[in-house]
Every structure is written in C-alpha cells, then in structure tokens.
C-alpha cells in the first residue's frame, strides 16, 4: 500500500465508512477493537472507584492474550482449577484475536507459528493437546499449503519472499554467503527457541551493534539482500535493521530449522489456538475486567478490577510489560522499553483480483513497500471453489524518535476527513475494510535486546509477582 500510517489514521470517517475511488462503489468499513480509551485511563493514572466486593481466589492471571491463556491451560492440565483469568477486552486473545464474517474467519494480528523445533517442549505439548502434533507428525492441514509466499517486484510476482528475479552475480554470492553464515550460527546451538536454552556469552557482542552495521561489517552491500534483512526485522520485531540488534537479526534466521515444513497457520491465524484454549479453560475467563491495581499483601496480592478486589496468593502477570509500572506499586520505571505501533486491516474482497506471474499464495509481500503485505484467510480452506476472501494486511511503523512516538500516543485515533483516495497498485479495492490499531506490540529488539528481554525488578523490593 502506498498510504502512510499517519495518513491512513487521518482518513475521514467518510473514508472508513465508505471508501471509494471516483469510478468505484463505496467500501464500508470502520475502526474496530479500540480498547485504547480504557487503556489510556491507566496511562493517565485516572482514579478508580473503591472495590465493593471481595473474592478470594488462590491464583489470578492478568491478561487473556496467548500468554495468559496458555498459563491457564497449563494450570488446568495439571489439575488446578481454582483460578480466574481477568481480561480487559470483551474478547480474549490479545494479539491472537480473530474475527469472522460470512466468508471466513480471519486473524486480527498474529497469523502463524513457525514449526516448533525439538527444544520447544512446552509449545509441542500444547500442540499435542490441540491435535496439531500427532505421534511426532505435524497435521498436514495446519501446515501452510503451497504456494506459501510471493513477492511483487519489477512489475510482476515471483514465488517466495527472498528476491530471486533480477539478481546480479554479486547479489547471488552475498545471499549464499549470508545463508552459510546463518547456518554456522545455527550449528553453535546458541540461537534457539526458547531463547534461554541457547544463550551464551560468546555472542553477546552481537547484541551491542545493530544488524545493519553487522551486515555492513561482513561486506554485505547488496540492495536486495539488505531489503530482505530489513523486511525480516520489520516483520518480526517491528523495527528497522538499523534499530535491531545483530544478535536478534541473526536469531530470526538461525533459530529456525533449515528445512522447516511450516509455518503452522489457520484461516483465523493464531485465533484458532485461542479458540481451542477457550474451549478448555473458558470457564475461568472473565472478560471486560480491566485490572487497574495490584498490591502486595501478607498472603500474596490483591488484584483490583471493576468493583472487585481479588485476594490471591499468586498473580501471573500476562499483560504487556509496559503496563507493570502502572499497575504494580513501586515497580521500577521501564526507561528504555520501546514498543512499535502496528496497524492491521482486514479487507473483504468480493472477488480475487487478476494477477500475472506467480500464483496467489498464503503470504504476499511487495518489494520496497512500507507495508508488510498481506495474508489470505482462504488459503487454508479445503473448499473446492473459492471466489471470495479476506486479506489481513499489516503495517509496522517504527517511530523515528521517542518524542515522535509519544506524539503518536497522544494523537486521536478518530478518523479525519480524507483528502486523497486509497490506492493499492496490483489489486482492486476490497468491498469492505476494517482497520485495527495502532497496537503497541511486540517490544522492539533494539540493541541490548538480551538485557531488555527480561523485565526488570528491583532487588531491594520483594517482587509481588511470584513464579508458579
């Protein structure tokens, strides 16, 4: 998409309720899932009414994203059911929320899981329970069907995201050399998921320079190679390669299995996992319950949400880390924790656009586009005839400076009158359009990623968040 995020957010209600080019019919649409109004009450440290009721419950989970839901799943799986999960939104799932219309279910953000390697034992246990992994084999229908990815470059489509058209011998040589380097890093066993398993001081220096600087030092100056590395950082970390630590950039490639069959994906993306988890632990989930304070008590902690004080022995904090100083008394300020705003737009198409070159695929990317492209919700459908679909488009916009970022947070999310029509070069406009955002996830992997990856807590004060 050629549209800047600010311009996009500045589109008029006319635009979102009825987008149209001169010759096209109107496109209905709106901003959805806008929970920022209540979220900003925390940011503005608004005062909340005193609790009218007390509930005693041994364990409280704060946040119903994939982290909170999977913690709940694990508790129940171990036979422990005496807990509540408090989620501020009406729909649980966080970034793994999903939507649905008459055509298909579709994701609101997270849309795939790289096939977990042998060391990711907990994720494998979860997928065994959900029927995704059976007797050591991944269920075929959940592995992204071919063709998985395509890239739009030089006016045509090619299969795969790694640029393969118009490469000079120098480009080819650099792609090959970099692949070999990633393979060497992989063999060291230091770049793993989960991250903690492989961590070694041997590579810590890589965390002190940026990925782009490391690429430059290694003599990688191919424009196409640098575009691809930058795309990977924007896609995974919401940051440019110049803002991503070399350690994190290398981890992206070297932690994945070289011959990975996946990724695992579903029409509603990771919303499928959320749905299956809710089937198992839904009885413990309370929605529209924003936690506004957590205090330490003699027995454990008190968690305040709505008009209730939940008196608990343990709290599992599964809300985004940046909220901890707002909810927990005396929690150290997070000085250098940076989040990138994301925008997700779901476009409902009344028919597939024509395309030349590589066939339509699950994931579509555009060379040199500020967007991250889109995924097709109908790609995994087993229907024999498919004429309509929903595309999930994402854009991560790393703000240039903390001041500008603060400006974004201050900015109204309300649409303003549109001055220019929406354009998307290779496709016709969709007939319905829903935008979701901006979001503030995930934390950007800037320099010193490894230190930032563990949330701080002061050693002088006891941490009210104990580990189960």
Ligand X SMILES: Cc1cc2nc3c(=O)[nH]c(=O)nc-3n(C[C@H](O)[C@H](O)[C@H](O)COP(=O)(O)OP(=O)(O)OC[C@H]3O[C@@H](n4cnc5c(N)ncnc54)[C@H](O)[C@@H]3O)c2cc1C
Is 95 near ligand X (CB under 6 A)?
Answer: yes
Is 394 near ligand X (CB under 6 A)?
Answer: yes
Position with the least CB separation from ligand X:
65
Contacts (CB under 6 A) with ligand X, residues 159-218? none
Is 442 near ligand X (CB under 6 A)?
Answer: yes
User: Least distance (Å) from ligand X to the CB of residue 184?
Assistant: 26
Is 377 near ligand X (CB under 6 A)?
Answer: no
Question: Which residues on neighbouring strands pair with residue 432, listed in sequence order?
Answer: 28, 348
Binding region for ligand X (CB under 6 A) out of 85-93, 185-193, 376-384, 422-430: 85-93
Kindly give the residue spans of alpha helices, DSSP state H, lying in 158-245.
Answer: 169-188, 195-198, 211-217, 223-237
Task: Report the candidate in 436, 428, 435, 438 with the shortest Cα–Cα distance to residue 15.
Answer: 435
Task: Report the candidate in 213, 214, 227, 225 with the shortest Cα–Cα distance to residue 172.
Answer: 225
**Closer Cβ to ligand X, 67 or 224, answer by number:** 67
Find out whether 75 and 81 touch, Cβ atoms under 8 Å. Answer: yes
User: Least distance (Å) from ligand X to the CB of residue 12?
Assistant: 24
Beta-strand pair 363-366/339-349: unpaired
**Closer Cβ to ligand X, 6 or 40, answer by number:** 40
| Residue from 65, 198, 271, 464 binding ligand X (CB under 6 A) | 65
Q: Tokens 């691809």: give the residue.
A: 228
Is 63 near ligand X (CB under 6 A)?
Answer: yes
- Which tokens sit at 426? 């290779």
Is 342 near ligand X (CB under 6 A)?
Answer: yes
Collect all residues with Cβ–Cβ distance below 8 Å to 401 and sequence separation of at least 6.
Answer: none
Question: Which residues on neighbouring strands pair with residue 151, listed in sequence order?
Answer: 158, 365
**Closer Cβ to ligand X, 16 or 109, answer by number:** 109
Is 393 near ligand X (CB under 6 A)?
Answer: no
Three-class SS of residue 282? helix
Convert residues 100-129 into a mask of x (bound to ligand X by CB under 6 A) and - (unbound): ---------xxxxx----------------
Find out whether 356 and 157 touch, Cβ atoms under 8 Å. Answer: yes
**Closer Cβ to ligand X, 397 or 418, answer by number:** 397
Is 249 near ligand X (CB under 6 A)?
Answer: no
**Closer Cβ to ligand X, 186 or 436, answer by number:** 436
Ordered DSSP codes for 41-84: HHHTT---PPP-EEEE-SEEEE--BHHHHHHHHHHHHTT---EE
Find out whether 274 and 69 touch, Cβ atoms under 8 Å. Answer: yes
Binding region for ligand X (CB under 6 A) out of 149-157, 207-215, 307-315, 319-327: 319-327
**Closer Cβ to ligand X, 161 or 323, answer by number:** 323
Find out whether 262 and 463 touch, Cβ atoms under 8 Å. Answer: no
| Residue from 251, 439, 444, 446 binding ligand X (CB under 6 A) | 439
Is 438 near ligand X (CB under 6 A)?
Answer: no
| Residue from 15, 27, 84, 94 binding ligand X (CB under 6 A) | 94
Residue 280 φ then ψ, to 5°:
-90, -35
| Residue from 3, 96, 328, 393 binding ligand X (CB under 6 A) | 96
Distance CA 196, CA 189 (A): 11
| Residues at the contact surface with ligand X, assessed by CB under 6 A | 62-68, 86-89, 94-96, 109-113, 270, 290-291, 318-320, 323, 342, 344, 394, 439, 441-442
């Amino acid at each position: 998409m050629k549209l800047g995020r600010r311009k996009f957010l500045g589109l008029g209600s006319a635009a979102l309720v009825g987008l149209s080019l001169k010759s096209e019919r109107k496109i209905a649409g709106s901003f959805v899932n806008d929970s920022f109004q209540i979220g900003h009450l925390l940011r503005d440290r608004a005062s909340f009414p005193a609790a009218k009721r007390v509930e005693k419950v041994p364990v409280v989970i704060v946040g119903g994203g994939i982290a909170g839901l999977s913690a709940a799943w694990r508790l129940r799986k171990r036979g422990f059911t005496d807990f509540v999960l408090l989620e501020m939104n009406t729909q649980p799932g966080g970034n793994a929320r999903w939507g649905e219309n008459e055509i298909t279910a579709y994701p609101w953000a997270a849309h795939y899981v790289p096939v977990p390697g042998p060391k990711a034992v907990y994720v494998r246990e979860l997928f065994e329970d959900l029927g995704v992994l059976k007797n050591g084999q991944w269920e075929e229908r959940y592995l992204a069907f071919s063709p998985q990815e395509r890239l739009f470059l030089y006016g045509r489509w090619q299969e795969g995201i790694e640029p393969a058209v118009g490469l000079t011998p120098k480009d080819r040589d650099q792609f090959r050399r970099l692949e070999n380097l990633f393979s060497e890093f992989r063999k060291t066993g230091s770049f793993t998921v989960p991250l903690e398993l492989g961590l070694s001081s041997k590579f810590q220096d890589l965390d002190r320079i940026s990925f782009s600087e490391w690429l430059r030092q290694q003599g990688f100056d191919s424009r196409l190679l640098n575009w691809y590395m930058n795309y990977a950082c924007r896609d995974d970390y919401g940051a440019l390669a110049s803002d991503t630590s070399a350690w994190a950039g290398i981890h992206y490639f070297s932690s994945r299995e070289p011959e990975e069959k996946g990724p695992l994906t579903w029409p509603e993306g990771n919303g499928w996992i959320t749905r299956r988890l809710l089937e198992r632990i839904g009885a413990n989930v309370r929605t529209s319950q924003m936690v506004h304070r957590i205090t330490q008590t003699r027995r454990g902690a008190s968690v305040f949400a709505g008009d209730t004080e939940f008196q608990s022995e343990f709290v599992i904090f599964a809300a985004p880390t940046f909220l901890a100083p707002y909810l927990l008394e005396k929690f150290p300020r997070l000085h250098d924790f940076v989040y990138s705003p994301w925008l997700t737009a779901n476009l409902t198409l009344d028919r597939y656009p024509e395309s030349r070159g590589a066939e339509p695929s699950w994931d579509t990317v555009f060379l040199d586009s500020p967007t991250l492209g889109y995924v097709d919700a109908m790609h995994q459908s087993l229907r024999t005839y498919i004429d309509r679909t929903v595309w999930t488009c994402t854009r991560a916009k790393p703000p240039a400076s903390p001041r500008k970022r603060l400006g974004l947070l201050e900015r109204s999310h309300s649409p303003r009158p549109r001055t220019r029509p929406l354009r998307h070069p290779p496709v016709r406009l969709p007939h319905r359009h829903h935008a979701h955002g901006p979001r503030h996830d995930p934390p950007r992997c800037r320099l010193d990623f490894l230190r930032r990856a563990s949330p701080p807590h002061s050693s002088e004060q006891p941490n009210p968040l104990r580990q189960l």
